[in-house]
């Protein structure tokens, strides 16, 4: 989603500085590293690489800057010192806490009042805290944990302060958009605001964009419910002809508004694939030569103008990607009608270019028909259109030479890939997937 927001802002003429940070030290990482007898860096390095691999497969462009918490200890310590100096934080035996009741705007983002929360909050038995809502900015080192020097002794930062320190370093004290999952609104983003605004006295992020959860059969995807799987598993488990490529998954993800729950199902992926198949069929037709009168050019321009208008209106309305996708669908229908009427090679080329340039905003429609098929095939080890054609030609030659054993073997190999061959009376063959 954030990749598309960035692309759309750039498409609209903005220069986008996109920062995506990694929390590369926390309780879970330390626990896993100790269990496996490796360093935290080995754990985080492995998962950051896996993340980049998966995002690459989805066509997500790398951010302008991808900072890591462990590389910002000086900024984190400095921000914590500022908060202590301002009377918003206090130190107890090497730990530093943010004193929530001292920050009067607390709860503004999540729209919770301090009193509501305290009434409902579990009783916090930590006697070092002045208020149960106080959260750690700095944690003193325990044995077997990675630690950094600070004015309060060896220790490591709390989770929330890392994000404030990194975003303020790379984007300034006030910046435009802060993103994240809806589950992060409270307490994580609320705490980021308290720390950042508390330290600077300025606005932190001008806009917050929170995306919805992935759901499986209307239930939230979670490890405890056992309905949890990864992007990688989707790619690896899919099988021809229901294969999933990055572009198919991307199309599916954009077919739902970012705010709502994302209902994942095999059926939804299948529909995304069918939709993309339809587009690539059209692009294939647009790559063929054609003839038509000059007024079809006017019809095309009109259809493109309407589609662009719908696309922009959708995206300008809180990044409504389903509306924008519908604009592509509508344009596809209009152009198919024009093709039936007859349009020239020139106009076909132009129509294809429009799809390519607007599709770029969504990271879609950049391939040719055979490349799309090749991508779909490659993920499960199937042949490309060109390779299939070669095999079909070879079979025709084998039949001509009366080498029926070889001709049969080739047919079997193609059938195994789901390819149907039709022999025509003149000795040539047609094929389809
Ligand atoms: Zn964060």
Query: Which tens digits make up the pLDDT trace of 133-158?
Result: 999 999 999 998 999 999 999 999 99
- pTM given for the model: 0.84
Rounded to the nearest angstrom, the distance between the alpha carbon of 191 and the centre of ligand 1 is: 9
Rounded to the nearest angstrom, the distance between the alpha carbon of 126 and the centre of ligand 1 is: 24
The pLDDT score that the predictor gives to residue 43 is: 96
Rounded to the nearest angstrom, the distance between the alpha carbon of 266 and the centre of ligand 1 is: 32
Least confident residue range of 44-53, 67-76, 253-262, 381-390: 381-390
Burial (0-12, 13-18, 19+ Cβ within 10 Å), 320: middle
CB burial string 42-77: b at 16+ within 10 A, e below: ebbeeeeeeeeebbebbbbeebeeebbbbebbebbb
Rounded to the nearest angstrom, the distance between the alpha carbon of 210 and the centre of ligand 1 is: 12
The pLDDT score that the predictor gives to residue 128 is: 87
Please give the average per-residue pLDDT across 295-312, as a whole number: 92
Q: Cα–Cα distance between 395 and 387 in angstroms, integer?
A: 12
- Comparison of pLDDT for 144 and 41, the residue scoring more: 41
Token digits of residue 308: 């662009």
Rounded to the nearest angstrom, the distance between the alpha carbon of 187 and the centre of ligand 1 is: 10
Rounded to the nearest angstrom, the distance between the alpha carbon of 22 and the centre of ligand 1 is: 9
The pLDDT score that the predictor gives to residue 378 is: 54
The pLDDT score that the predictor gives to residue 382 is: 62
Q: Cα–Cα distance between 357 and 353 in angstroms, integer?
A: 6
* pLDDT band, very low/low/confident/very high, at 412 (cuts 50, 70, 90): confident
pLDDT 10s digits, 339-364 = 998 888 988 999 999 999 999 999 99
Rounded to the nearest angstrom, the distance between the alpha carbon of 23 and the centre of ligand 1 is: 8
* pLDDT band, very low/low/confident/very high, at 266 (cuts 50, 70, 90): confident
Q: Cα–Cα distance between 321 and 8 in angstroms, integer?
A: 11
Q: Decide if pLDDT at 307 tops 90.
A: yes
Please give the average per-residue pLDDT across 97-108, as a whole number: 95
The pLDDT score that the predictor gives to residue 185 is: 96
Rounded to the nearest angstrom, the distance between the alpha carbon of 92 and the centre of ligand 1 is: 25
Q: What is the distance in angstroms between the CA of the first residue and the CA of the last residue of the chain? A: 32
Rounded to the nearest angstrom, the distance between the alpha carbon of 207 and the centre of ligand 1 is: 15
Least confident residue range of 57-71, 303-317, 366-380: 366-380
Rounded to the nearest angstrom, the distance between the alpha carbon of 279 and the centre of ligand 1 is: 38
Ramachandran angles phi, psi of 207, nearest 5°:
-135, 145
Rounded to the nearest angstrom, the distance between the alpha carbon of 88 and the centre of ligand 1 is: 20
Domain ranges of the chain: 2-211, 227-375, 383-432
For domain 227-375, give the fold: Isoleucyl-tRNA Synthetase; Domain 1 (1.10.730)
The full length of the chain comes to 433
Do 227-375 and 2-211 fall under one CATH topology? no
Q: Cα–Cα distance between 215 and 197 in angstroms, integer?
A: 34
Q: Assign domain 2-211 one CATH number from 3.40.50.1240, 3.10.110.10, 3.40.50.620, 3.40.50.300.
A: 3.40.50.620
298 touches 344 (CB < 8 A)? no
Rounded to the nearest angstrom, the distance between the alpha carbon of 184 and the centre of ligand 1 is: 8
Rounded to the nearest angstrom, the distance between the alpha carbon of 293 and the centre of ligand 1 is: 57
Rounded to the nearest angstrom, the distance between the alpha carbon of 164 and the centre of ligand 1 is: 8
The pLDDT score that the predictor gives to residue 385 is: 74
> What mean pLDDT value characterizes the chain?
90
Q: Decide if pLDDT at 367 tops 80.
A: yes
Please give the average per-residue pLDDT across 58-68, as a whole number: 93
Name the residue with tokens 């301090």: 114
Rounded to the nearest angstrom, the distance between the alpha carbon of 159 and the centre of ligand 1 is: 7
Rounded to the nearest angstrom, the distance between the alpha carbon of 167 and the centre of ligand 1 is: 9
Rounded to the nearest angstrom, the distance between the alpha carbon of 327 and the centre of ligand 1 is: 34
Instruction: Give residues with Cβ within 8 angstroms of 309, minimum separation 6.
Output: none
Q: Which of 126, 73, 137 is nearest to 103 (CA)?
A: 137
Rounded to the nearest angstrom, the distance between the alpha carbon of 422 and the centre of ligand 1 is: 58
Rounded to the nearest angstrom, the distance between the alpha carbon of 180 and the centre of ligand 1 is: 8
Rounded to the nearest angstrom, the distance between the alpha carbon of 152 and the centre of ligand 1 is: 24
Which CB contacts under 8 angstroms, 24+ apart, belong to 131-135?
A: 131/99, 131/100, 131/101, 133/100, 133/101, 133/106, 134/97, 134/98, 134/99, 134/100, 135/97, 135/98, 135/100, 135/160, 135/187, 135/191
Rounded to the nearest angstrom, the distance between the alpha carbon of 179 and the centre of ligand 1 is: 9
Helix (H/G/I), strand (E/B), else coil: 252:
helix
pLDDT 10s digits, 371-380 = 676 666 555 4
The pLDDT score that the predictor gives to residue 372 is: 75
Least confident residue range of 23-27, 262-266, 376-380: 376-380
């Amino acid at each position: 989603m954030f990749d598309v927001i960035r692309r759309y802002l750039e498409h609209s003429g903005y220069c986008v500085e996109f920062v995506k940070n990694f929390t590369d030290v926390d309780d879970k990482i330390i626990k896993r590293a100790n269990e496996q007898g490796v360093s935290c860096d080995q754990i985080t390095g492995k998962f950051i690489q896996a993340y980049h691999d998966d995002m690459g497969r989805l066509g997500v462009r790398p951010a302008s800057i991808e900072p890591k918490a462990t590389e910002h200890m000086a900024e984190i310590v400095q921000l914590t010192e500022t908060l202590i100096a301002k009377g918003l934080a206090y130190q107890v035996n090497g730990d530093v806490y943010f004193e929530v009741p001292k920050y009067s705007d607390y709860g503004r983002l999540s729209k919770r009042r301090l009193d509501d929360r305290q009434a409902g909050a579990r009783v916090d038995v930590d006697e070092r805290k002045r208020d149960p809502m106080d959260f750690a900015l700095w944690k003193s080192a325990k044995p077997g944990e990675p630690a950094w020097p600070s004015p309060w002794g060896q220790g490591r930062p709390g989770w929330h302060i890392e994000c404030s320190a990194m975003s303020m370093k790379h984007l300034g004290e006030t910046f435009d958009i802060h993103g994240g999952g809806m589950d992060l609104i409270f307490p994580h983003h609320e705490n980021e605001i308290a720390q950042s605004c508390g330290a600077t006295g300025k606005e932190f992020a001008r806009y917050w964009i929170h995306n919805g959860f992935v759901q499986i059969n209307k239930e939230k995807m979670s490890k405890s419910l056992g309905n949890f799987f990864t992007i990688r598993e989707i790619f690896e488990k899919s099988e021809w002809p229901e294969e999933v490529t990055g572009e198919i998954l991307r199309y599916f993800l954009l077919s739902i508004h970012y705010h709502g729950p994302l209902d994942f199902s095999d059926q939804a992926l299948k529909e995304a694939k069918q939709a993309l198949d339809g587009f690539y069929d059209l692009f294939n037709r647009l790559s063929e030569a054609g003839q038509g009168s000059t007024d079809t050019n006017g019809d095309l321009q009109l259809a493109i103008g309407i589609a662009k208008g719908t696309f922009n209106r959708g995206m300008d309305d809180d990044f409504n990607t389903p509306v924008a996708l519908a604009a592509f669908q509508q344009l596809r229908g209009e152009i198919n009608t024009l093709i039936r009427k007859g349009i020239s090679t020139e106009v076909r080329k132009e129509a294809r270019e429009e799809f390519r340039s607007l599709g770029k905003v969504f990271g879609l429609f950049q391939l040719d028909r055979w490349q799309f098929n090749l991508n779909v095939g490659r993920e499960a080890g199937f042949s490309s259109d060109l390779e299939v054609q070669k095999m079909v030609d070879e079979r025709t030659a084998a039949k001509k030479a009366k080498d029926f054993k070889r001709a049969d073997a080739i047919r079997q190999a193609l059938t195994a890939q789901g390819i149907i061959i039709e022999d025509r009376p003149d000795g040539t063959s047609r094929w389809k997937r």
